[in-house]
Structure 1
Amino acid sequence: MDLDFAKRKCVPCEGGIPALAPDAVDAGLGALDGWDAQEGKTRLHKHLRFADFVAAMKFVNAMADLAEAEGHHPDFCVHYSTVDVTLWTHAVGGLSDNDFILAAKLDRLREAAAARR
């Protein structure tokens, strides 16, 4: 598995492949910043904190644009100045490379926003 996820592009997944094994999930987590595996290593989760609601929503809007471009869409919940993001590949009932690709790109998106301040 190529662990430089941010340089890769999500590929369409319609099932028919197995979800990543727990050891592959552990290896992938090592390439990400602050994500954790949940629900028996079938979900990636990250809790993000922002200065205020406006900053959180700017991130959510940028995340939506990125997710649409990648064709892989996260679940998320906004709580004023925090955003919880959860990723998994519905078609495989667990995690795929696409989840790690989007997670890495979301980390870069956050880094880019912080650099612009």
Structure 2
Amino acid sequence: MASTLAEKTCTPCRGGVPPFTPEEAEAYRTQAPDWSLMDDATRIERRYRFKDFGEAFAFVMRAGELAKAQGHHPDISFGWGYASVSLRTKKIKGLHENDFIMAVKLDRISEGVVEAAARPKG
């Protein structure tokens, strides 16, 4: 993990690569500390909080654009004031560096949504 995950880009995963062990996943999670390891460290998950539906929706739209650009496919659900994101690399049925790259990038997007909503309009 020489460079920060936020500076990296997801690489296509063709399968055949072993998923992270729980220890490897925990080491990567230090750069995404708000994410939780789930299901025996085969996925990570985070619930974001927003002030209203509009902020949550704005986050989901940006998250979708990021996912498309990165070639990643997170599971996202949202509603009034929240969005939940679950990440894992489906081809290897577990975690890969790509999942943590997405996690860190999603964290940055969420900060930007909240900052933009706090700016005065007009």
Task: Specify the TM-score bucket, using the shorter chain as the normaliser.
Answer: over 0.9
Give the 3-state SS of the residue equivalent to 1:37 in structure 2: strand
Q: How does 1:1-117 map to 2 (within 5 A)?
A: 1-2=1-2, 4-116=4-116, 117=118
- Structure 2 counterpart of 1:104, which letter? V
- Structure 1 counterpart of 2:47, which letter? H
Distance in 1 separating the partners of 2:33 and 2:63: 16
The answer (yes or no) to whether the contact 2:20–2:96 under 8 Å persists in 1 is yes
Distance in 2 separating the partners of 1:69 and 1:96: 17
Runs of 4+ in 1 over 4 A off after TM superposition: none
The answer (yes or no) to whether the contact 1:3–1:28 under 8 Å persists in 2 is no
Distance in 2 separating the partners of 1:83 and 1:33: 17
- The TM-score normalised by the length of structure 2 is 0.90
| Unmatched segments (≥5 aa) in structure 2 | none
Give the 3-state SS of the residue equivalent to 2:110 in structure 1: helix
Identity of counterpart residues, as a percentage? 37
**RMSD, matched Cα:** 1.2
Deviates more, 1:73-82 or 1:54-63: 73-82
State the 1:79 CA deviation.
2.7
Give the 3-state SS of the residue equivalent to 2:95 in structure 1: coil
The answer (yes or no) to whether the contact 1:33–1:107 under 8 Å persists in 2 is no
- Structure 2 counterpart of 1:19, which letter? P
